Amino acid sequence: MTAVLVVDDSLVDRRRAGALLERSGDWELRFAENGAEALNQVREHTPDVVVTDLQMPELDGLGLVRTLAREFPLLPVILMTGQGSETIAVEALEAGAASYVPKRELDLLPETVERVRTIAGERKQRASLRRCLKSFKAEYELGNEPGMLTSLVAELQAHLQEMGLFSEGDRLRVGVALEEALLNAAYHGNLEVDSELREHDFAMYYETARQRAKAFPYRDRRVMVSVELTSEGAVYRIHDQGRGFDPRSLPDPTDPRNLERSSGRGLLLMRTFMDLVEYNATGNEVTLIKRVRRNEIAERPKQGIAMAAPA
């Protein structure tokens, strides 16, 4: 049973989050009123996922994320954000949090917990490393099934682990960014489901995607993924066969006015967790790059392989 620790100084919000998780799956739920109490619980009995508010007494959410990232780098943390906590949320994501859910759209919490838990669990199970691998290059062509796309994320994370690229925490965040990009390619690109619909009618958003996945021409569209891993880092290109969009029309996800909108959530996570996120002119291909930091390069033998540049 997956153990989820919910941290919030508001009894109402704790109960709300707990009820949503309880209805959606077989979770072992634990609760804490602030970051200090949560930290004590984690040190005593480490959960599988931590879900935390940001504004709390004694030790706030940002302080909790920073401490957990240092002491428990494999433990994924999901933020619950509210109005007034936008700037802190961005800092917490940069400090090591794996994802976030706006409190006004807390119905997204069970899905987010499950996705992050799956990514983290797959990563932990890949214990055998092939350190002799010096570079890796591959291309994938997939349909629009979310399960298959998530499986690809686990596969790509395994390659990072096999090559010893990045810290455990960074590998988790790369996985989250990749899943967001892949799901965007499927839902918004190939199936052309407007992200605005998700904000207004969560159920209709997924029902529309389900229907279009069976209908022409959407069902025949594919998601193409190319991967290049070297000692310098990782380059991912994700291409969909939809009509595309003007990348200049993308809102700034770090703008406090946009942070609480679910439509900008994926882009914020991608840009926060990767060193470069760049769309092509037609908006149906995105390049994501994560570079190895200098100190990480110094710790491993030089392999003489140059980092690819975006096309």
Residue-range domain boundaries for the chain = 2-121, 131-299
Residue (of 239, 189, 10) closest to 106 by Cα position: 10
Q: What are the helix (H) ranges across 56-193?
A: 61-71, 86-95, 109-125, 146-162, 168-184
Identify whether the C-beta of residue 271 lies closer than 8 Å to the C-beta of residue 287: no
Give whole-number Cα distances, 95 to 99, 229, 230, 272, 291, in Å. Answer: 11, 24, 25, 10, 17
Distance CA 66, CA 80 (A): 16
Residues 6+ apart with CB under 8 A from 68: 39, 42, 50, 75, 77, 96
Q: Cα-atom radius of gyration of the chain, to the nearest Å?
A: 19
Let me know the angle formed at the C-alpha of 152 by 282 and 65, rounded to the nearest 5 degrees.
90
**What is residue 307's three-state secondary structure?**
coil
Identify whether the C-beta of residue 140 lies closer than 8 Å to the C-beta of residue 237: no
Name the pTM for this structure: 0.68
| CATH code assigned to 2-121 | 3.40.50.2300
Handedness of CA 204, 243, 190, 120 (dihedral sign): negative
Q: Kindly report whether the peptide bond that precedes residue 217 is cis, defined as omega within 30 degrees of 0.
A: yes
Q: H-helix or E-strand containing 270? A: helix 265-273
pLDDT tens for the chain, 311 residues: list them. 789 999 999 999 999 999 999 998 788 999 999 999 999 999 999 999 999 999 999 999 999 999 999 999 889 999 999 877 788 899 999 999 999 999 989 999 999 999 998 888 765 655 444 556 778 999 999 999 999 999 999 999 988 988 889 998 999 999 999 999 999 999 999 999 988 787 778 889 889 999 999 999 999 999 999 999 999 999 999 999 999 988 888 777 666 665 565 567 888 899 999 999 999 999 999 999 999 987 654 444 333 333 333 33
Distance CA 227, CA 236 (A): 5
Residues 6+ apart with CB under 8 A from 232: 291, 292, 297, 305, 306, 307
Give whole-number Cα distances, 144 to 5, 148, 154, 194, 218, in Å. Answer: 32, 8, 16, 15, 9
Q: CATH homologous superfamily of domain 131-299?
A: Histidine kinase-like ATPase, C-terminal domain (3.30.565.10)
